[in-house]
């Protein structure tokens, strides 16, 4: 019987990120260590974000998780890997300072929700794991910086590590087998290039595609072209794309972004059995964006596609009307368009 009992709480929001240099392939499946470095743009949380609140108390006997209002199992290996790492870091603090409450011994109650419907056709695992890991690191008052914490989010979902920063973000693949150096780093903050916009063209809401995790495994195991991509193409492109961001050179950035999307979908096609993510609407969007750039005499818009047919088109704000009215054909087969922009990293909530 306790006459007083404290419930400790923390909350955060975390953003969605869309890769411009794609992560595709793992060299270690349980640690989510990638076969190549990747780059992404963080999108505004005004439009897309996950909000996660966590609570712990001496009276909480087990860890519990609610996602979008539904209780879910906490026992997935990925979630467990994140919680184990966070608790371990909290134990280190408690061992150094015995006056700290022993939060590491107590159950965690985790409540997480997205402000966008799954019907937006966007994978939410990146924002979800980023928010989970940041919320608990705040609850535990961990001193580690965002890059350090990103290594924990990475174990939840590879792409999640990139949602720990706003603006323009790289995931450095690292060279170590234990993953100690495979983490997210900021390439440039939002204010460096604030007029970057993204139009998400939702072509399909359904989730019938090959899941990323198993698709990557098939590609790594069977595609010959993939070896060329990770050894010869991506290392050079990684440096060039970072430079194009530092230079705010949209033509260069856009060219590399489109080439990398096509390279990723090529290694999917080169896998056995082949993996198809683009559909006829996706291919039409690709043609129309190239036609627009041709007509402008320079690259002002750049498409990229993930593990599904939805397009994300990057452009600078001043070109918005040109991109959106390029050709009304672009709307055919598109169920909705979400206009958003480069955004901040995880945010405290009151």
Whether the CB-CB separation of 2 and 131 falls below 8 Å is answered with no
Distance CA 326, CA 54 (A): 45
Residue 213 sits in the site that holds ligand 2P0 (CB under 6 A)? yes
Closest CA to 260 of 215, 335, 340, 314: 314
Residue 130 sits in the site that holds ligand 2P0 (CB under 6 A)? no
Residue 24 sits in the site that holds ligand 2P0 (CB under 6 A)? yes
Residue 23 sits in the site that holds ligand 2P0 (CB under 6 A)? yes
Environment class of 270 (CB within 10 Å of its CB; exposed 0-12, middle 13-18, buried 19+): middle
For the CA atoms of the chain, what is the radius of gyration?
A: 21
* Site stretch for ligand 2P0 (CB under 6 A), options 20-28, 44-52, 132-140, 220-228: 20-28
Residue 36 sits in the site that holds ligand 2P0 (CB under 6 A)? no
Whether the CB-CB separation of 338 and 120 falls below 8 Å is answered with yes
Q: Which one of 146, 268, 286, 307 is in contact with ligand 2P0 (CB under 6 A)?
A: 307
Which of positions 248-287 make contact with ligand 2P0 (CB under 6 A)?
none
Residue 159 sits in the site that holds ligand 2P0 (CB under 6 A)? yes
Residue 238 sits in the site that holds ligand 2P0 (CB under 6 A)? no
* Site stretch for ligand 2P0 (CB under 6 A), options 55-63, 154-162, 182-190, 243-251: 154-162
Whether the CB-CB separation of 172 and 122 falls below 8 Å is answered with no
Residue 304 sits in the site that holds ligand 2P0 (CB under 6 A)? no
SS (H, E, C) 89-139: HHHHHHHHCCCCCCHHHCEEEEEEEECCCHHHCCCCHHHHHHHHHHHHHHH
Instruction: Retrieve residue 209's tokens.
Output: 């595609």
* Site stretch for ligand 2P0 (CB under 6 A), options 17-25, 179-187, 241-249, 332-340: 17-25
Q: Which one of 212, 244, 282, 326 is in contact with ligand 2P0 (CB under 6 A)?
A: 212
> Which one, 56 or 244, has the nearer CB to ligand 2P0?
244
Return the residue nearest ligand 2P0 (CB atom). Answer: 158
Whether the CB-CB separation of 306 and 292 falls below 8 Å is answered with no
* Site stretch for ligand 2P0 (CB under 6 A), options 7-15, 152-160, 268-276, 291-299: 152-160
* Site stretch for ligand 2P0 (CB under 6 A), options 18-26, 196-204, 226-234, 240-248: 18-26
> Which one, 77 or 328, has the nearer CB to ligand 2P0?
77
Distance CA 342, CA 282 (A): 23
> Around Cβ 348, how many Cβ atoms within 10 Å?
11
Q: Which residues bind ligand 2P0 (CB under 6 A)?
A: 19, 22-24, 32, 38, 123, 125, 157-159, 212-213, 306-307
């Amino acid at each position: 019987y306790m006459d007083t009992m404290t419930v400790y709480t923390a909350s955060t929001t975390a953003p969605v990120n869309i890769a411009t240099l794609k992560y595709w392939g793992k060299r270690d499946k349980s640690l989510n260590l990638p076969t190549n470095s990747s780059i992404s743009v963080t999108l505004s949380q005004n439009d897309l974000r996950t909000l996660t609140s966590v609570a712990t108390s001496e009276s909480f006997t087990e860890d519990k998780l609610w996602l979008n209002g539904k209780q879910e199992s906490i026992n997935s290996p990925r979630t467990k890997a994140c919680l184990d790492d966070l608790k371990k870091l909290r134990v280190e603090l408690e061992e150094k300072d015995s006056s700290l409450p022993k939060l590491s011994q107590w159950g965690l109650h985790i409540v997480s929700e997205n402000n966008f419907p799954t019907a937006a056709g966007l994978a939410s695992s990146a924002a979800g794991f980023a928010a989970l890991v940041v919320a608990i690191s705040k609850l535990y008052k961990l001193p580690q910086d965002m890059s350090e914490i990103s290594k924990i989010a990475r174990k939840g979902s590879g792409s999640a590590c990139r949602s720990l920063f706003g603006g323009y973000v790289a995931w450095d693949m690292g060279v170590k087998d234990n993953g100690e150096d495979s983490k997210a780093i900021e390439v440039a903050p939002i204010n460096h290039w604030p007029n970057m916009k993204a139009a998400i063209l939702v072509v399909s809401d359904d989730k019938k595609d090959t899941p990323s995790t198993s698709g990557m495994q098939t590609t790594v195991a069977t595609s010959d072209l993939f070896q060329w991509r990770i050894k010869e193409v991506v290392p050079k492109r990684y440096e060039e794309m970072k430079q194009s961001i530092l230079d705010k050179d949209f033509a260069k950035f856009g060219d590399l972004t489109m080439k990398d999307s096509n390279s990723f979908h090529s290694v999917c096609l080169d896998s056995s059995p082949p993996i198809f993510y683009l559909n006829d609407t996706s291919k039409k969007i690709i043609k129309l964006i190239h036609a627009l750039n041709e007509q402008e005499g320079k690259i002002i818009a750049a498409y990229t596609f993930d593990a599904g047919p939805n397009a994300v088109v990057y452009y600078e704000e001043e070109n918005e009307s040109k991109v959106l009215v390029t050709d009304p054909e672009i709307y055919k087969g598109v169920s909705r368009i979400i206009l958003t922009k480069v955004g901040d990293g995880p945010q405290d909530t009151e």
